[in-house]
Amino acid sequence: MLEEILTGGFAELGLAADEEALARYRTYYGRLSEVNKVMNLTAISGEEDTARLHFLDCAALLTALDLRGKRVIDVGTGAGFPGLAVKVACPDMDLTLLDSLDKRIGFLRETCAALGFDDVACIHARAEDAPAELRAGFDAALSRAVARLNVLCELCLPFVKTGGVFAAMKGPDCAEELREAERAIALLGGELERCVSYTVPGTDVTHSVVLIRKVRPTGARYPRRWAQIKKQPL
């Protein structure tokens, strides 16, 4: 079932999933299902829902953004969404997965090994405390279901090099969050490029990808400490 759903869903998105990608998604699903029994990785379960609401939802990012050959960081990746799910569909991107929970990073390292991805960096750190060498080091930063956009911009834009892009995966209506984040985007060196909406294949679920272009360096004072970000969002 998983392979059939993915093959049809990729075609509907205008993408392609070869046999190697399908086999990797099968392995990823198996790892998720098994480890989710003892670790809270995701509330979504079962082949159909995982295929549609995780794998296809994440892969849809590739309809808005070409990540081939790009250096990419997934901030607050959780169980590897969207970054690792996108890597399966686009294996030639250089991926770093960042998460604040060490147990999840352990799961991701083992999963990357099972998928044959020895080029994925899995880093245990909060975004605001990440190693300094990661700053302005990526062509793209990704984030899905982590925080409101004004907060995400402060956490993610510092990782993006000038000329790169921050892609935030959001719900169907992100107009309010965009208005709320206008000051943060400008202050952190970004510029709204576009907002792309899509329907997850085989569902009536509509999501959006907000693309923010990095047009100038982010000031050295950002990101601030988490307590300050939370108390006084930009």
> Quick one: what percent of the chain has pLDDT higher than 70?
100
Residue 180 class from Cβ within 10 Å (0-12 exposed, 13-18 middle, 19+ buried)?
Answer: middle
Tokens of 166: 């921050």
Strand extents, DSSP E, the chain: 71-75, 94-99, 121-124, 138-144, 160-170, 190-199, 206-214
pLDDT score, position 93: 97
> In the chain, what are the domains?
2-231 (3.40.50.150)
Residue 83, CA atoms < 13 Å, CB-side half-sphere: 30
Whole-angstrom distance, CA of residue 91 vs CA of residue 24: 11
Whole-angstrom distance, CA of residue 75 vs CA of residue 72: 10
pLDDT score, position 46: 92
pLDDT score, position 172: 86
215: Cβ–Cβ under 8 A, 6 or more apart, which residues? 162, 163, 189, 190, 191
Asked whether the predicted pLDDT for residue 175 surpasses 90, the reply is no
Over range 187-193, report the average pLDDT: 97
3-state secondary structure 197-217: EEECCCCCCEEEEEEEEECCC
For the stretch 125-143, pLDDT in tens is 999 999 999 999 999 999 9
pLDDT score, position 136: 97
Asked whether the predicted pLDDT for residue 146 surpasses 80, the reply is no
Q: How confident is the model at residue 163 (pLDDT cuts 50, 70, 90)?
A: very high
For the stretch 65-85, pLDDT in tens is 999 999 999 999 999 999 999
